[in-house]
């Protein structure tokens, strides 16, 4: 039997990464491991090395490259169908990403901020009207990012549930390749219709602007616009949703931190960076395959070898975050790697930050007595998905 660690490793505590990461970081920051089918991969756990390799364009993000590392057959099949810049290298990556950057600048996000605040206020009004106990995941965690992404794409709000269900199915480790392919097909079919509608009658939304600026000049095909819409749904939905629910739980589990935020809601921006660091909810997306020989930490990574740049480990590196296992919303955690690093660093990070800051500043101010409605041991965690999170979060006040 092989003695190599096999990804994904189990967590001993749901709020912390597997303990093996810290052990590797201290003793073997560039280590070997294996994945579901026995393929060998490299695990990088030290902050410096993770950052260096993510910024190194000798590594490819293209899943069809031989040796590209995968976590499960199903998620691998979904990645192979990816036709967007998330899974492209330069120069193609930059060519396509540039078409979306102006939609996610600080300025563009600031313009959206009053609408997002209204949405949050409305959702919390509904929670208060309904009364406790309730599940925070559908009430706020999932509801807000769904509303925001449908607003951005100009999609009908009533399509939330369908979009959410199909987007989740694509990234479940236990799904078969047939299941993830079917989920991708459903989402593409849905967007196909939406994009066709907007081609006939453009509105004030991202898809329409892509159609008018790039579709009509021939710079983007109909199919490419469909795939970009699919990427935005997948990337912007479950991620922010998980951060809202799991972030709330982390604060409820650390009452001193919750009290500090209630006492000073202007701490929300620091709190969000710290929660992003502490939770690092996208643990495995930063995986690549080497296209050249690369020396790191006394090891040589050879072309065609797969590498997991483990951001959850890097974000707990004591050399960069003293007492890394402590949630401290007053620390300056802005240099965390929860949004990745390098050319693929999260395009939607300013939007995610704005949504999260507004949620945490508002939620704990309006419901300062918010608490878990069940013992922590009864909270069910979603550990079978590319996005880590909770399945439900029963709260009361």
Give the binding site for ligand HEM (CB under 6 A): 61, 85-86, 97, 231-232, 235-236, 239-240, 243, 281-282, 285-286, 338-340, 344, 346-348, 351-352
Host H or E run for residue 300: strand 299-301
User: Shortest Cβ distance from residue 368 to ligand HEM (Å)?
Assistant: 24
Backbone conformation region of residue 356, classed left if phi is above 0, alpha if psi is from -120 to 50, else beta: alpha
DSSP 197-235: HHHHS--SSHHHHHIIIIITTTSS-HHHHHHHHHHHHHH
User: Shortest Cβ distance from residue 339 to ligand HEM (Å)?
Assistant: 5
Q: Which residue is nearest to ligand HEM (CB)?
A: 348
**372: β partners:** 395
Which is closer to ligand HEM, CB of 31 or CB of 232? 232
Q: Inter-axis angle of helices 222-252 and 143-153, to 10 degrees?
A: 160
Which is closer to ligand HEM, CB of 46 or CB of 255? 46
Host H or E run for residue 314: helix 311-314
Which is closer to ligand HEM, CB of 235 or CB of 271? 235
Helix, strand, or coil (residue 316): coil
CA atoms within a 13 Å half-sphere pointing along the CA-CB vector of 385: 18
Phi, psi of 312 (to 5 degrees): -60, -35
Spatial CA neighbour of 390 closest among 373, 367, 368, 365 = 373
User: Shortest Cβ distance from residue 97 to ligand HEM (Å)?
Assistant: 5
Spatial CA neighbour of 381 closest among 36, 8, 121 = 8
**376: β partners:** none
| Residue 122 · residue 206 · CB < 8 Å | no
Which is closer to ligand HEM, CB of 164 or CB of 239? 239
Say how far apart CA 350 and CA 221 lie, in whole Å: 28
User: Shortest Cβ distance from residue 218 to ligand HEM (Å)?
Assistant: 23
User: Shortest Cβ distance from residue 310 to ligand HEM (Å)?
Assistant: 12
Which is closer to ligand HEM, CB of 261 or CB of 338? 338
User: Shortest Cβ distance from residue 278 to ligand HEM (Å)?
Assistant: 12
| Residue 227 · residue 188 · CB < 8 Å | yes
Which is closer to ligand HEM, CB of 77 or CB of 338? 338
Which is closer to ligand HEM, CB of 168 or CB of 239? 239
User: Shortest Cβ distance from residue 44 to ligand HEM (Å)?
Assistant: 13
């Amino acid at each position: 039997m092989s003695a190599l660690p096999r990804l994904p490793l189990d967590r001993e505590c749901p709020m912390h990464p597997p303990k093996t990461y810290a052990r590797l970081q201290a003793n073997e920051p560039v280590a070997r491991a294996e994945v579901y089918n026995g393929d060998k991969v490299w695990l990088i756990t030290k902050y410096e090395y993770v950052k260096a390799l993510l910024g190194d364009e000798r590594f490819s993000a293209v899943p069809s490259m031989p040796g590209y590392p995968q976590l499960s057959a199903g998620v691998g099949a979904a990645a192979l169908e990816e036709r967007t810049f998330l899974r492209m290298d330069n120069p193609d990556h930059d060519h396509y990403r540039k078409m979306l950057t102006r939609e996610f600048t600080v300025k563009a996000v600031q313009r959206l901020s009053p609408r997002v605040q209204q949405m949050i206020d409305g959702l919390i009004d509904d929670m208060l009207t309904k009364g406790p106990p309730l599940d925070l995941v559908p009430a706020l965690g999932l509801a807000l990012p769904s509303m925001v992404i449908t607003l951005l794409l100009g999609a009908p709000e009533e399509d939330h549930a369908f979009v959410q269900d199909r987007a989740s199915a694509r990234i479940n480790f236990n799904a078969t390749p047939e299941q993830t392919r079917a989920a991708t097909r459903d989402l593409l079919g849905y967007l196909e219709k939406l994009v066709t509608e907007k081609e006939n009658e453009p509105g004030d939304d991202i898809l329409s602007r892509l159609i008018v600026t790039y579709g009509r000049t021939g710079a983007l095909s109909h199919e490419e616009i469909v795939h970009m819409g699919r990427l935005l749904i997948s990337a912007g939905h479950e991620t922010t949703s998980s951060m809202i629910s799991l972030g709330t739980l982390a604060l409820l589990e650390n009452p001193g931190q919750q009290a500090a935020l209630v006492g000073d809601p202007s701490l929300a921006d620091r709190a969000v960076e710290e929660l992003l660091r502490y939770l690092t909810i996208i643990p495995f997306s930063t995986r690549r395959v080497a296209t050249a020989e690369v020396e790191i930490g006394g090891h040589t990574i050879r072309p065609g070898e797969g590498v997991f740049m483990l951001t959850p480990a890097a974000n707990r590196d004591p050399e960069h975050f003293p007492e890394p296992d402590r949630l401290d919303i007053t620390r300056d955690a802005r240099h965390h790697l929860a949004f990745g690093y390098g050319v693929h660093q999260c395009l939607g990070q300013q939007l995610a930050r704005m949504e999260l800051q507004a949620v945490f500043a508002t939620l704990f101010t309006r419901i300062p007595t918010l608490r878990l409605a069940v013992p922590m041991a009864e909270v069910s965690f979603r550990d079978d998905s590319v996005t880590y999170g909770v399945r439900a979060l029963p709260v009361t006040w």
